[in-house]
Amino acid sequence: MLLLATRLGMRSGDIARLTFDEIDFGGNFIRLVQEKTQQPLELPLLPEIKDAIQNYIKNARPIVNDECRIFLRQKAPYQGITTSALRFATTKYFRKAGIDISGKKHGVHTFRSSIASSMVNDQVPYDVVRKVLGHTDPDAIKHYARVDIERLREYAIPVPEPSGVFEAFLDGGRSYDGI
């Protein structure tokens, strides 16, 4: 479950609702309609995600034939998990990893922000990042991406040498003649 959030930036609602029909194990992709936006989204089924889901289905998923959702509660009634269960799992594994989450945002959504920032910092085009996150608004990426300072410096325009009145002012001159 968490690999879907950390590697693909999927929303918790989409992870909780994920069905067998939305995963193509042979074609290695996930195709779904996002719960929040109702927009279609196609993502690659990365090898580590594919292996983890297949391992879960084989070894941990309760055997329930009439439930199409992949991720189920571990105790009866065996229904699809909720976003609250994902939030609980996220908190549990942050703590297990020794990550101090006190006073910090630490839900599943933090993984979307993290993957967006990583992609932008790795110079993945904004349009690609936007599509991976499933957004249609070109400005939506601004809410997630934290661009690193070094990348910003690469695009900075050089500051010209001062001249004229400004140069005189910097040299201690007090004359504003000519303005």
Determine, yes or no, domain membership for 67.
yes
Pick the more confident residue, 161 or 143.
161
Please check whether residue 13 is in contact with residue 35, taking contact to mean a CB–CB distance below 8 angstroms.
yes
Q: What is the pLDDT of residue 57?
A: 96
Query: What average pLDDT is seen over the chain?
Result: 87
pLDDT digits (tens, 9 = 90+) for 24-34: 999 999 999 99
Residues 89 and 2 sit within 8 Å (Cβ to Cβ) = yes
Closest CA relative to residue 42, chosen from 54, 29, 52: 29
pTM of the model: 0.76
What CATH number has the domain bearing residue 114?
Answer: 1.10.443.10
pLDDT tens track for 113-144:
888 888 888 888 888 888 888 888 878 777 66
In this structure, is residue 60 part of a structural domain? yes
Residue 62 lies in a domain: yes
Average pLDDT of span 84-92: 91
Cα angle 36, 15, 123 (rounded to 5 degrees) comes to 80
Residues 15-55: pLDDT tens digits?
999 999 999 999 999 999 999 989 999 999 999 999 999 99
Q: Band of the pLDDT at 58, cuts 50, 70, 90?
A: very high
Query: What total number of domains does the chain contain?
Result: 1
Mean pLDDT calculated for residue range 6-17: 94
139, with CB counted inside 10 A (0-12, 13-18, 19+), is exposed
> What is the mean predicted confidence (pLDDT) over 81-86?
93
- Domain containing 110 equals 2-154
